[in-house]
Structure 1
């Protein structure tokens, strides 16, 4: 005699107790075969659109797997699947009958050549879920007690199959997302490098340093004035490293109140202080297997510098209010616009921390020292900001705008240039972009020598000779759509040798070449 309640509970626990359906099937088979003769069993579903069956999972005495096997459903099975049934349907393959459709079905699925089989087609809430055949190598005549026991398993088998299909879908989506993530990371890496305007110009030396250190785990100290793009370079290092699939965590050291620095960097335990209602992971823990970027490192108070030094040396942290040591694996990038050497002399920055961070320093030049990048930067920001503010189209630059931009010193560096472009887009109202506010800032400066490519008039109302030549060359380039040589190039129009024209444009600061061709497409 079989206690049906115990049998039902045990099978339900086994078949629904593990999302890895192959393991659950194997444990379930090992248990069930003591009550229902079977050497193998598995889940099969019908795909009506494809008119095919698919094996989802199967188990036998040797093991189990979730290998998907699809096989066509012939007319007999298609008609059978069209028949309605609201209760579980159980069929038995008679021993010694090679033409029995259940045994033929199992053989088509690529299972063992069984001599007997019993199969239940599950129904949950009036919906057919799929089938579970059980096969025996022996000539078994399944009795009413076997049919009774397998009928008890309609719900646990149906639920397990439903969970299996949903779990499989989740795994497929997860794998697809991982593939998409890897693809996008690869694309973003290239985009990230390409969007560093000046990587083949004023920032060429910086990008060469990035290429040298990116693949290592060494700390990097980024030095430069505010607004030069230290965070952009830090992200480029991260994206070019082996940690690019990990997190990139930014910490603005100057924006964290002194009382919260330890909690923000290292986390805290529940109840560590008033308001600590739950455990919080610090930035270092969140950057595990990735990169942590300590921006404005010079703003950290001395006490916090001491604790940071200990973390950098041991790569271990302790959360505030905790006594557990947590190991971390994160690469440290730091940046500052302050003179750390002077701060060390004034005892405002720890010398040992300075040398711990300054393993590989990278100096990022200010914009005034790489003005040849300004035309490309302006073009980049025009497109970026126009998209951000949903601007209808990309306007052209006013004819005298580029000389003004080249003449300005840009104390706020690239950030100031970006803001200037956005401001001009807002105020131009569809007209060519002009930067009159910058021209006003340039004009009153005493003793200022206008750059070689400026069109600004001299005090006597006439342009300088260099300014007039630069303006004339730009007009020729505009007419030739940026082309320098060839039958339709500016060199032919101006009746000079292309090499001579290029040399003169370099001396006058007139941008040319493929990178700057866009400046002459719309009347810039």
Structure 2
């Protein structure tokens, strides 16, 4: 055997051992280096699992024509007792050059691994008095190794301990990731069970909508859901995601109208530590969290123009940039957006970007209001009574006569499905349908869609403007009562149950002046 400089040998071997993040690749390079100075046909790297009498092989490098052992080696109880006793001894280097000269226990263990005559060097790997596992270098034939070989291989005890520690940590992380994926899948399934994966009316009033959803769900194309407040746009977004190839990936829901204007960039795209006052740590945005999944932008018409520009870049370039960051981050996200507003009209008035409108409007789906599909109301009533009874923990004893069901079908339902749900919950709470249902037919809806369309030419004012008109009137009536006061107890925001800044933003959007000097009529 040639003379070897141990320092050079150790340095070069360690460089090969840590030359790759992939443990198998690194060990293959390490083995190739050892083969230049000593007999070496293969490597085993593994750990002991005393709790179940097993040894697990993390890395197995065998010649192609040699039969590999199982990744998990089961030890008979008597054999394991022998090994446990050996593990209590001080770690060291053990060489086996002729299996026939070894004790029966050693021969029995070797028979679980080797299918032919083998010489091997076995090193116990220990860290802080804890036996982690073992490293085995082997060569075919008998009497292939001497004491010099054992000393040289033992030089790598510390690097091998680091290597196996990294492998174990990596496997722990992988296990946690697998558990997280499994938990996420389980929770998504539970959420579907809680919210219901059946869309009421799918075979009747919503049959046309469901046909479109089945067509577009398997694609990655953006979808724009249009319809009045309360028609179930979020339910449709859920259905699109569940029908897509991304169904096992995240579905992130964003209410664009509920995010303060100054925080929109941070919420959607994240920020770097120190990028602004209060940014004490790096934060991932909602688009990052939706990577490989779907993001649902509810009320996308509420986004300010500055945020629309950045959203356009995400759709065009498939990249985001955190606030305060300098490096673009690639994201793979499907975008589903929804609005109750007329975005096409907002484009004409300059409130919504034309190029963003074209990007979002790839596959528009109009969801009809409840008054246009009265045939769905009986099924919805039964569904909500059953679900709300479970939520309220009461027996579903409510039975509606044909007369009451007919009243429900004749009502205009300006609040759509959400209003129907709230009415039925109120009935279940009070236990008296006579106080609620008769009033539905005689009261005039706060917003009569058809009446407003008849009053104004359809080309000038659409359904959405009618809603804005009555919302403006209602806010002005509250401001008149508070003499223009917005904040504080008894102020307009307090009466409306809104944050003052939210109310001011809504007033600004509806062109309602504010201040005590303003007279509200």
TM-score, length-scaled by structure 1: 0.66
SS of residue matched to 2:414: coil
Q: Which residue is 1:224 aligned to?
A: 227
Q: Please give the residue correspondences for 1:47-196 in structure 2 after superposition, counting only pairs within 5 Å.
A: 54-60=56-62, 68-70=70-72, 73=75, 77-83=79-85, 85-88=88-91, 90-95=93-98, 97=100, 102=106, 105-110=109-114, 113-114=117-118, 116-137=119-140, 139-140=142-143, 142-150=145-153, 156-158=159-161, 160-161=163-164, 163-168=166-171, 170-172=173-175, 174-175=177-178, 178=181, 194-196=197-199
Q: Which residue is 2:483 aligned to?
A: none
Confirm whether residue 39 of structure 1 aligns to residue 41 of structure 2. yes
Q: Which residue is 1:441 aligned to?
A: 439
| Unpaired runs of at least 5, structure 1 | 448-524
Structure 1 distance, partners of 2:272, 2:64, is: 49
**Mean Cα deviation higher: 76-85 or 317-326:** 317-326
Confirm whether residue 242 of structure 1 aligns to residue 240 of structure 2. no
SS of residue matched to 1:92: strand
- When residues 176 and 141 of structure 1 are mapped into structure 2, their CA distance, relative to the original with a 3 A threshold, is same
| Unpaired runs of at least 5, structure 2 | 446-521
Contact 1:221 1:359 in 2 (8 A): yes
Q: Which residue is 1:29 aligned to?
A: 31
Q: Using the TM superposition, give the Cα deviation of residue 48 of structure 1 relative to its aligned residue in structure 2, in angstroms.
A: 6.0
- When residues 252 and 419 of structure 1 are mapped into structure 2, their CA distance, relative to the original with a 3 A threshold, is same
Structure 1 distance, partners of 2:391, 2:44, is: 55
Q: Using the TM superposition, give the Cα deviation of residue 378 of structure 1 relative to its aligned residue in structure 2, in angstroms.
A: 3.5
Question: 1:2-43: CA deviations, max 9, x gaps?
Answer: 776776676667657766433343344344556664332313
**Mean Cα deviation higher: 70-79 or 215-224:** 70-79
Structure 2 distance, partners of 1:13, 1:314, is: 40
Q: Which residue is 2:236 aligned to?
A: 233
SS of residue matched to 1:83: helix
SS of residue matched to 1:361: strand
Q: Which residue is 1:336 aligned to?
A: 339
Q: Using the TM superposition, give the Cα deviation of residue 131 of structure 1 relative to its aligned residue in structure 2, in angstroms.
A: 3.6
Aligned CA-pair RMSD: 4.5
Contact 1:269 1:321 in 2 (8 A): yes
Q: Which residue is 2:367 aligned to?
A: 364
Contact 1:57 1:64 in 2 (8 A): no
Structure 2 distance, partners of 1:321, 1:72, is: 55
Contact 1:222 1:333 in 2 (8 A): yes
Out of 411, 420, 425, the position equivalent to 1:417 is 420
- When residues 36 and 379 of structure 1 are mapped into structure 2, their CA distance, relative to the original with a 3 A threshold, is farther
Q: Which residue is 2:454 aligned to?
A: none
Contact 2:252 2:294 in 1 (8 A): yes
Contact 1:94 1:100 in 2 (8 A): no
Q: Using the TM superposition, give the Cα deviation of residue 233 of structure 1 relative to its aligned residue in structure 2, in angstroms.
A: 0.8
**Mean Cα deviation higher: 331-340 or 395-404:** 395-404
Out of 205, 210, 214, the position equivalent to 1:202 is 205
Structure 2 distance, partners of 1:182, 1:254, is: 29
Q: Using the TM superposition, give the Cα deviation of residue 339 of structure 1 relative to its aligned residue in structure 2, in angstroms.
A: 3.2
Q: Using the TM superposition, give the Cα deviation of residue 208 of structure 1 relative to its aligned residue in structure 2, in angstroms.
A: 0.9
Q: Which residue is 2:498 aligned to?
A: none
Contact 1:41 1:60 in 2 (8 A): yes
Structure 1 distance, partners of 2:405, 2:336, is: 35
Structure 1 distance, partners of 2:175, 2:324, is: 42
Structure 2 distance, partners of 1:320, 1:106, is: 60
SS of residue matched to 1:368: helix
TM-score, length-scaled by structure 2: 0.66
Q: Using the TM superposition, give the Cα deviation of residue 274 of structure 1 relative to its aligned residue in structure 2, in angstroms.
A: 4.7
Q: Which residue is 1:396 aligned to?
A: 397
Aligned length: 439
